[in-house]
Structures are given as structure tokens and as C-alpha cells.
Amino acid sequence: MLDRLLSHDLPRSRMLAALLIVVFVALALAPFLFPGAKALSVAAKALVFILLVASFDLLLGYTGIVSFAHTMFFGIGAYGVAIASSRMGPGFDAVLVGGGAALVVSLLLSLVVGLFSLRVKAIFFAMITLAVASAFQTLASKLSDFTGGEDGLSFKAPELMSPSFQLLEEPLLGVSVDGRLITYYVIFLAVTLLVLLLLRIVNSPFGRVLQAIRENDFRAEAIGFRTVVYRTWSNVLSALFATVAGALLALWLRYVGPDTTLSFEIMLDILLIVVIGGMGTIYGAVIGSALFVLAQNYLQDLLRLAGGAFEGVPVIGAVLTPDRWLLWLGVLFVLSVYHFPTGVVGRLRAFALQRPTTTRKETTR
């Protein structure tokens, strides 16, 4: 049953399976295990990034396409829900209309970008997507009457997802069952189903062709596969999943601005997470997103504790300050790349493959 659910793509490592179970259980029970508004927001952000990074990995890890326009589709999904909700008023009809319109726009844009750009070499395609994403970000900042400009758009979520909505009068296991909790579990269920769908896609015949194109596009073309068509569809699917991730983020924040979805910093974060988790593995998006979001949100707190312990020490005390958290995040990234060149998932799978050989040699001796 589990094998079918994971599309016959099992973790193939006990340690990786344990990590995935820990992440899944922690996210599933986050409101009850980690009380507090910050912990819940961190868990929701991790869920959104899991879907966003997994959709980008379909493009980079499985097809070998480098695109810098992924945040554009992420922003389209968020702005679609925000614009529709602010103009039509709070309600699921606005969410459906905004989300549906965003998916259509992303579909058309990704088709245009794919058909006109994927015929060129990889570096030129990357530059084209970077230019398109920059133009879209500028457009979102300038159209203040439509998008809110630099200030962004605030909107009201449907009543069922509003923080003021109370489903139960009494708390459940000490947690208030309100609109915020409902929104979190809507995001959790949506991300879980879509990640399973991505696993199904990459393990289908379509996904195998994408991997063949990644390994050697000339050979795939010679066999008879139209590589441009497969790359275009990979670009479209990746854009649609990113659009859904943006819509989920908008529902959680009830606010959308250029910095929350269209920033190039988010694109860099996605690239970092893909490298940390492991390219070409949907599981890498899960592990990498969880590790990165935790480090991004709690590294300052850890440095504050460490700085207090070494207070008065000239050099160490100055380095272990919360203001240096970006420095330490960079150090952690360099160390992770050095020790896990194929990502956490790739390293754990390689270790699992080497382990039986080592055990066999020791038994022979």
C-alpha cells in the first residue's frame, strides 16, 4: 500500500525514511506539538516551500532546466487569490476564481516562455527567464491600482479560514480550533496530495523521458522523443504547481507583496534548498525545506542563547550575535555542500547502498 502511495519510489534508506516520517509527523501535528503563533507560521511556510521547491526540482533536477522565473509563477498564484478576494470580497468563490485565473495565466505564460526559449542553449534560457521574472516584478510594483504596488494587497480570507472563526467552543487538546487551524490543515492536505502527485509524475513514463533528456538530450532526440515538447510540458507543470503554492501562501498570510513572492531572494532560497536536499529527488525538497526554514527562523534564537553563554569573550561573543545569523547560515550551507555534495537524500541513499557491501566484507573476514 505504501509502495503504491509513493509511486514505487521508496526512500531506499532507513535513515531517510526515518527523517521523512519525523518531518511528516511534525508537520501533521505541529499545532499540537509546537504551540504558539511563530511555530505554526514556520510550519506553514515549510509546507509551502516543500511544494514550491518540489515543483522547481521537476524542472531543474529531473529535466535539467535552469529557470529563474519560478518565483514569477509563485507570485501569480498569490496575486490571483489576493486580487480576486480584495475585489469580490471574502469567500471561497473569490479564492476559486482568483486561483483558476492564476492557473490559466501561468499556463499561458509558461507555454510562451517554453516554446520560445527552450530551443536555445541552457544559459540563454536562464537569462531569458531572469529577464521575464524581473519585468514581472517591476510590473507588479508599478501597477499600484491593481496589485497594490510596493505596499502590496491585504485581503480577508473566507469566514471559515478567518482567525476570528471558532469551530469548537472548547479547545481540542489545548489548541483552539479556529480558522487559523483550519487554514493550516487545508495547506497541509493540499501539499501532501500535490507532493504525492509529483512523485507519480516523476516515476511515470513521462518522468523517465525527462530524466533521459537531463542525462543526454541528444540521445533522447535520436531515440525519437521530441525533447522540446517534453521540456515545454515540464515547464508548464512546474509553473502550475508553483502557482498553487503561491495561492496557499496568500491564504495563510492574507497579504501579498513583491517581497513575499516575487523577490529574487526567494529564488535563491529555492536554489539553496534544492542543493541541500538533493536534486532529482522529491524527498530532497521535503528534507531541504524543513531544514532551511528551521535554520532561517530559529538560527537567530540559537545565536542569542550562544551569545549569552559567551558574553564578555572578545571574539566569540562578537561572532555569536543574532545579527550574524546570515553569516552562520552561509557557513552551514557551505558545510552541507562539502559533506553532502549530492544533497542529504543522495548522501543517505549512497550510504545505504555501501552498507551491505561493508557488512559482507566484514563477514568474509
Angle at 228 between CA 217 and CA 125, to 5 degrees: 85
Which are the contacts of 292, defined by CB distance < 8 A and separation ≥ 6? 49, 269, 272, 273, 276
Mean pLDDT value across residues 179-189: 93
Instruction: Give the Cα separation of 130 and 348 in Å (integer).
Output: 33
Nearest-CA neighbor of 9 among 286, 323, 218? Answer: 286
195 has pLDDT over 90? yes
Mean pLDDT value across residues 211-219: 86
Mean pLDDT value across residues 64-83: 92
Q: Which CATH number is 2-364's, of 1.20.1250, 1.10.1660, 2.40.50, 1.10.3470?
A: 1.10.3470
Residue spans of the domains in the chain: they are: 2-364
Task: Answer whether 45's CB lies under 8 Å from 37's CB.
Answer: no
Instruction: Give the Cα separation of 285 and 279 in Å (integer).
Output: 8
Q: Model confidence over 262-318: pLDDT tens digits?
A: 888 899 899 989 988 988 889 999 999 999 998 888 877 777 777 666 666 666 666
Instruction: Give the Cα separation of 283 and 295 in Å (integer).
Output: 18
- The pTM of this model reads 0.91
350 has pLDDT over 70? yes
Helical (H) or strand (E) element with 157: none
User: Strand pairing partners for 172?
Assistant: 175
257 has pLDDT over 50? yes
pLDDT band at residue 364, thresholds of 50, 70 and 90?
Answer: very low
